[in-house]
Structure 1
């Protein structure tokens, strides 16, 4: 591909990572980009999404930050779900001086809309479920869709996430057939309701809060700012020791009955039960959490395929910043292509740069999780009360040293790489 003036890129998946990548790549005059989304129209599963300094940095670069609003996560409370005891009150996950916008929780649909508004017309192809990938050696990658249409691309970007495995998460599965996900035992039930519906329950809508139980937790947060006429509030209930559903691999965004969710909070504080009871029948959506081992490389097929976001680091939302990671991936990939094109280098060299920058970042996340799990194991053995254990969990798992995530400046990461290359 040396010397080619036009690079044909196919992005699989229309989530935040795929959209962010489409925006970044569409700004390069030598790239022809198409995004293939399996749904027939824009669709976003889930409830709220957390955005911190790292998110604002990349959204600014993509020109999409102005369209994203949400509720502040400052003054977050950590509580014992059984007794209601306040265990900790912490400001934001990152120093507020890093970005005046701070950490927020926003509706996922709001982030999606902001990104969609920045994707040039004609790039997104809806109702295009990928069913087959084929390496054509020197002629790129052949893609076949469920409607029997097909195309050939110089570069394929797998942005189809973790939740699609194995039915439609075909990029990683084809690239790495021996890499398997496994059910973590955790299921999340999520919903967004009008904040006014919860106003009669004390200590629920005043701040973002985590209520920790022995077999799960409940999360409450604003997802709208004060400018909304009818602000909404998120409720997420998680169970840690859920049995795997027979005959199912990944359950993502399916309806769940009120009884199913209410049974998970029976032993919790009455305020939690009251809040859960406010949710109308049919509103809950269920999400089973899957994860997989770290990938040594997030590129393949002689550097014609790149994995971004959850497809490249199946951590099942461990850091609550997965959408941001995916957008950062896409922006770095665009910079790498721009750099190699300026030097008349092949596309494969750009993917090597992408892998060199992003793979170690994800390796660091896995290492952090391993260290936190070990500290938590020791705390479980050494603490004498459940509250003591929860405080240790909050310290190590939630508010350990994660500045490398929440304060990450992706533009500086790229500048540092270019300076390092220049020194050599």
Structure 2
């Protein structure tokens, strides 16, 4: 299908929305992105771009820009929480030398995508709050200011509380996982190298890795608890609460936590993968279709995959938009379900309590000594998946 005369509206100027806008515009479509904020920006958070997401950025000719403003990950290091002793080092340079993993500030990735989209001719409209979406052969987006818009296709890339998802699916009730997470960025006074440091403790863990030129460190601290916490990335908390929760973490972890002067806390909720990713000429991508827990670092990477496959499915279709959207869901849903399940199962490995923690750590250490290649490659089905290659 030729995209040259296609008029597409995308709701949400996040990673998935901007990547889809760029991919579609480069195929000839006329693309407008609606963003409710007053600026296209993201604050105070890091993320990991794994090889599967990087393949999309490379296909969009954005790899070099990403490399300039991020840290290329050299290893993942698992440590015990007490003194930070090393349990297992997964050397990516040695055992995954053909792959690239990056630590990037979310704001930098959004800037790269937004600039590329605008340069390509995408129209980004700010302060556009969406009230509801109607799916039709000619879909309609109703805005809070009373205006309406739409086009030949509407794509909902509007995150956890997606208006587009509500138009296509019954509203499901997410459930609290019994885990909360704090996010913070601190100066890299400890001179942490370009490695992901995972400090494992009973019922909790801390992840730390450097950002930008290495002068900053991104922290994600996860704790199991019964008390419910609100869902959302930008809910402020008192840094003293974070330090109190991780008071038994010593070594570098203690030093990093002592530097936190601003922190956000959010509850981790399980949302079902949407049953319907498309109806009429409305489609979903990213968190709007499949919110995932952060334990495989795949939220942004799956959104990048979605963006590419959606654009590819539209271009490849000979039967119009509904057929293209059906092909898009068929290509994506099974993989996404599998990744979301893997993320949901992954946290417990870092939260073992005595007496299980010591023997489990010894098994990890032995595995790293005896079969390091296997340890590094256990999630190759995620990281080596390349949606930019035909048939993926």
Name stretches of at least 5 consecutive residues in structure 1 with no aligned partner. 418-424
User: Cα 1:21–1:4, aligned 2, differ >3 Å: closer, same or farther?
Assistant: closer
Report the Cα offset of residue 368 of structure 1. Answer: 3.9
Residue 271 of structure 2 is aligned to residue 292 of structure 1: yes
Report the Cα offset of residue 14 of structure 1. Answer: 0.8
Superposed counterparts of 1:392-411, under 5 Å? 401-411=378-388
238, 244, 265: which one pairs with 2:228?
244
Report the Cα offset of residue 252 of structure 1. Answer: 2.0
**Counterparts of 1:209 and 1:3, CA distance in 2:** 47
Q: Secondary structure in 2 aligned to 1:352?
A: helix
Report the Cα offset of residue 93 of structure 1. Answer: 9.6
**Counterparts of 1:3 and 1:49, CA distance in 2:** 35
Report the Cα offset of residue 350 of structure 1. Answer: 0.7
Residue 332 of structure 2 is aligned to residue 358 of structure 1: yes
User: Cα 1:107–1:269, aligned 2, differ >3 Å: closer, same or farther?
Assistant: same
Could you tell which deviates more after superposition, 399-408 or 252-261? 399-408
State the TM-score, normalized to the length of structure 1. Answer: 0.81
Residue 323 of structure 2 is aligned to residue 349 of structure 1: yes
Q: Report if aligned partners of 1:106, 1:223 keep a CA contact under 8 Å in 2.
A: yes
Alignment correspondent of 2:312: 335
Q: Secondary structure in 2 aligned to 1:416?
A: coil
276, 279, 287: which one pairs with 2:257?
276
Report the Cα offset of residue 6 of structure 1. Answer: 2.6
**Counterparts of 2:340 and 2:111, CA distance in 1:** 31
User: Cα 1:117–1:23, aligned 2, differ >3 Å: closer, same or farther?
Assistant: same
Alignment correspondent of 1:77: 77
Q: Secondary structure in 2 aligned to 1:118?
A: helix
Name stretches of at least 5 consecutive residues in structure 2 with no aligned partner. 368-374
Alignment correspondent of 2:370: none
Q: Secondary structure in 2 aligned to 1:49?
A: strand
Could you tell which deviates more after superposition, 181-190 or 52-61? 181-190
**Counterparts of 1:4 and 1:67, CA distance in 2:** 27
**RMSD across aligned positions (CA):** 3.0
User: Cα 1:307–1:46, aligned 2, differ >3 Å: closer, same or farther?
Assistant: farther
Superposed counterparts of 1:16-415, under 5 Å? 16-29=15-28, 31-68=29-66, 69-92=69-92, 95-99=95-99, 102-120=100-118, 121=121, 123-135=123-135, 137-138=136-137, 140-162=138-160, 165=161, 169-196=162-189, 198-199=190-191, 207-225=195-213, 231-241=215-225, 243-245=227-229, 248=230, 250-280=231-261, 283-299=262-278, 301-302=279-280, 304-340=281-317, 343=318, 345-366=319-340, 368=342, 384-390=355-361, 401-412=378-389, 415=390
User: Cα 1:334–1:122, aligned 2, differ >3 Å: closer, same or farther?
Assistant: closer
